[in-house]
Amino acid sequence: MSNRADPCVFVIFGASGDLTRSKLLPAIFNLCEEGYLPEEFAILGIARPKIDQAEYRKQMREQVRQVEGEPLDPAKWKPIEDRLYYVSGEFDDPALFEHVKQTLAEICQQYRIAPNFLFYFAVPPDLFGLVGDQLAGAGLLNEDDGWRRVIVEKPFGYDLDSARALNAELRKGLRESQIYRIDHYLGKETVQNILAFRFANGIFEPIWNRRYVDSVQMTMAEDSGIGKRGAYYDKAGALRDIVQNHMFQVLTLIAMEPPISFGGEDVRDEKMRVLHAVPPLTRDDVMRHVVRGQYEGYVSESNVDPNSRT
289 labelled catalytic:
no
Which of 184, 246, 276, 289 does the annotation list as catalytic? 246
Read off the amino acid at residue 247. M
Q: 178: closest CA among 153, 150, 145?
A: 150
**Helices (DSSP H) in 124-247: which residue ranges?**
128-137, 160-171, 189-199, 230-236, 238
Alpha-carbon gap, residue 160 to 206, rounded angstroms: 36
Contact 15, 40 (CB under 8 A): no
Radius of gyration of the chain, Cα coordinates, nearest whole angstrom = 22
Which active-site residues does the annotation give? 246
